[in-house]
Amino acid sequence: MYYQDEFMKKDSGLTLCSGRQTAIGRIGIAESGGVVTNLYFLDKAGDRIAETGCSPLLDEAFRQLDAFLAGRIHAFSLPVATEGTEFSLRVWRALLDIPYGGTASYGDIAVAAGAPGAARAVGSACRRNPLPIIIPCHRVIGGDGRIGGYLGGTEIKRHLLDLERLNDR
């Protein structure tokens, strides 16, 4: 995976955005400079993108997303770039260590990000995750086992968690 060890820096080149219907609703994906930069839940009120075109990378991102949502792959193999605070970047890296089909609490991720006691800040970083599903913030749950919030809504979060549990064999 291109982002496993280190997040790439976003290029300021041309940004392309495309939206498509998926098993969980209409999703938008953006790329810039040869890296995937954002994933959007377009069925959510307020999440809109200007569709500026497609590219082989966006086609591949949607192919992998469809395969993930069908349970055929368990991880993405895409070049990605994210921008965020140093803490957010540490949180997003820690999310990549949560195994497919597993979960971790906000507190667990705070510890993994080097900030014990910062569970609420982990929640904020998850809300700012520019690549939900690809960087699996849906695997983060409350310390009491409650599902917690999700960018795409709790129904989609529950669907993703159930999908992973069913296909983690």
Query: Does some domain include residue 102?
Result: yes
Total domains in the chain come to: 1
Find the angle CA(98)-CA(105)-CA(71) to the nearest 5 degrees: 40
CATH number reported for the structural domain that contains residue 152 in this entry: 1.10.10.10
Q: Tell me which DSSP letter residue 8 carries.
A: B
Where b means 16+ CB within 10 Å and e means fewer, 102-130 reads ebbbbbbbbbbbeeeebbebbbebbebbb
Query: Does some domain include residue 48?
Result: no
* Structural domain of 116: 86-167
User: What DSSP string describes 88-133?
Assistant: HHHHHHHHTTSPTT--EEHHHHHHHTT-TT-HHHHHHHHHT-SSBT
Instruction: Encode pLDDT of 66-88 as tens digits.
Output: 999 999 999 999 999 999 999 99
- Per-residue model confidence (pLDDT) at position 6: 43
Query: Does some domain include residue 155?
Result: yes
137 is annotated as an active-site residue: yes
Rounded to two decimals, the pTM is: 0.88
Query: Using CA atoms, how far apart are residues 91 and 96, in angstroms rounded to an integer?
Result: 9
CB atoms within 10 A of CB 143: 11
Query: Does some domain include residue 142?
Result: yes
Query: Does some domain include residue 46?
Result: no
Query: 86-95 vs 119-127: helix axis angle to the nearest 10?
Result: 90
- Per-residue model confidence (pLDDT) at position 48: 62
Query: Using CA atoms, how far apart are residues 167 and 40, in angstroms rounded to an integer?
Result: 24
- Per-residue model confidence (pLDDT) at position 45: 54
Catalytic residue among 17, 54, 126, 137: 137
Give the residue ranges of the chain where pLDDT is below 70. 1-14, 45-51, 169
Query: Does some domain include residue 73?
Result: no
- Per-residue model confidence (pLDDT) at position 169: 67
